Structure 1
């Protein structure tokens, strides 16, 4: 088949490489121009560079326009494959090819529709993440599903671990999807949109810790926002702290959320939970932090003793 890809960053790069390796004729790679946005400099393997290195025509676009439609028309693909294409596509683009557009979304749809699905999945306590190949339609991640592949979330997995794991699912899922479509064996399953969960784009403020959350939720939050993502952060005596490592305490601690309390092991216990005053929940043991100067500190050195509060404002 003649294949065009629409994609950006490492997801688009991996998808383009998988399309090249599949043996199909890749006739066009559409991608976004480079960006300095914090979330777009992470996982920044270049689709454009890979395409040019393989002699594949490239079209750069920030959003769909007449020039993009002209590029698709000239390339005449049998199918478009999209992965991490960041803007809405009109029907005249996604329905142009004979087999339409196959979108790859890094969640198990209809769960975690939208943005940063792996990060939100870890934060929310999901049991697994995955990759879905589905037909693009007029909605956002709402089209009929062809294939899915899942990865379990283990207790110590970070968001970074799981992003890598879902990216690694791309080649096999894409190759099998193209085989099924070309052979006429594809079976498309409508999503039950009543089960849909939809998450928004993340911004810096979404990484701020709320000490009214239970310690178990904050521990997931810290793991989800592992390097190279903007880390979970809080403030201590006017200074921002990024929390790099944390765990749930062995003992139950009560008091006021955010209180810097007492050492446990090699870390410092922070009282957590909206009902902490009842003394029925665990605390969060902070083990490693990073200050705004980029220096990392063991928590038992940064907090030589208990006292004071972690807050959500400087």
Structure 2
């Protein structure tokens, strides 16, 4: 069984390892060069390819169609995408003799699109997961091949949940690989009308709006906590990154619940929110960017 794999990030590393362990012949890996302006906290697909002597390339999005002759010559049974960041042209998807499959970091049809783990936490979800699905030109819209769910703890941040999702991705792949190796692709409908779609997030989206509820602000902090850009607020003329919060007390009686924003009582920072509830700020520090 032969595959061409588009891969990046921890999910790319872990799923590529699972394919190799199952005996899939990986003829080519398409990945990304790391962005020097991005905090790289995850595994390297390039390093894995170098270690395993797998051919790889790092084209820009505009260069992907130039790979079609090379991919066609490899005659892959499958084209896989594991957290690859560019949209893969339809002309490449049809190069797969059996199917083109993508691993997405949510329980489709919920949270189609970009940054699914961050969006799920931001919306206070208690569960997410990984979904392997048929690739179509419309993002995350093809039939579902396999899924695995994980819980989201009420204080877990995006990095912690992403680690769970990365393992769920491997679980899904291992569950369906025996059938895929036989040329059989299990599938069920991806009911988009029952789901949701979200775009990418920018660092500026992390601004704390103290008019929101304590739960909403706590979820924002968790969703974008470092190594993501972080939730931020102004305090005494400085922009501060709020990296960790708690909804649990005790909260001091001295807090003025009529004044929204940061209050420091006995050297402990708290945030008073729009629902007149408070959050304890457990970690915060001056921003280097804002």
TM-score (norm 2): 0.90
Is 2:278 aligned against 1:283? yes
Q: Which residue pairs with 1:34 in the alignment?
A: 34
**1:46 pairs with 32, 37, 44, which one?**
44
Change (3 A) 1:151 1:77: same
- Aligned-pair CA distance for 1:137: 0.7
Q: Which residue of 1 aligns with 2:157?
A: 158
Question: Could you tell me how far 1:142 is from its partner in structure 2?
Answer: 0.5
Measure the CA separation in 2 of the matches of 1:293 and 1:184.
Answer: 52
Could you say what secondary structure the match of 1:168 adopts? helix
Deviations 1:22-76 (A, max 9, x none): 11111111112332242xx434422122112212121221115342112211222
The offset of 1:167, in angstroms, is 0.8
Residue 14 of structure 1 pairs with residue 14 of structure 2: yes
Structure 1 contact 133–177 (Cα < 8 Å) conserved:
no
Partner residue, 1:272: 273
Cα 1:65/1:179, change in 2 over 3 Å:
same
In terms of mean alpha carbon deviation, does 82-91 or 142-151 score higher?
82-91
Instruction: Give the aligned partner of residue 79 of structure 1.
Output: 78
Q: What is the SS of the residue equivalent to 1:240? A: strand
1:212-270 CA deviation, whole Å, 9 max, x = no partner?
1101111122122222111211011210111122222546963142252756xx73332
User: What residue is the counterpart of 2:87 in the other structure?
Assistant: 88
8 Å contact kept, 1:27–1:56: yes
CA deviation digits over 1:113-137, x for unaligned, max 9?
1111111111100111100000001
Map 1:122-133 → 2, pairs under 5 A:
122-133=121-132
Shift of 1:286: 1.7
Residue equivalent to 1:105: 104
Aligned CA distance change for structure 1 residues 123 and 253 (closer, same or farther; 3 Å):
farther
CA deviations 1:259-294 (Å, max 9, x no partner) are 52756xx73332211xx4xxxx41122232112369
Q: Which runs of 5+ in 1 are unaligned?
A: 295-313
Q: 2:177 aligned with 1:178, yes or no?
A: yes
Give the structure-1-normalised TM-score.
0.84
**Cα distance in 1 for residues equivalent to 2:113 and 2:194:** 14
Retained in 2: the 8 A contact 1:59–1:71?
no
Number of matched pairs: 285
Q: Which has the larger radius of gyration?
A: 1
- Measured on the aligned residues, the alpha-carbon RMSD in Å equals 2.2
Cα shift at 1:83: 1.2
- Structure 2 residue runs without a partner (length 5+): none
* CA distance in structure 1 between the aligned counterparts of 2:48 and 2:242, rounded to whole angstroms: 36
Partners of 2:245 and 2:65 lie apart in 1 by: 50
Give the direction of change, closer, same or farther, for the CA distance of 1:127–1:83 in structure 2 (3 Å limit): same
Question: Quick check: 147-156 or 171-180, which moved more?
Answer: 171-180
Distance in 1 (CA, whole Å) between partners of 2:269 and 2:288 is: 21
- Mapped to 1, the partners of 2:285 and 2:183 lie a distance apart of 54
CA contact (8 A) 1:83 1:105 kept: yes
Partner in structure 1 of residue 25 of structure 2: 25
Q: 1:260 aligns with which of 255, 260, 263?
A: 263
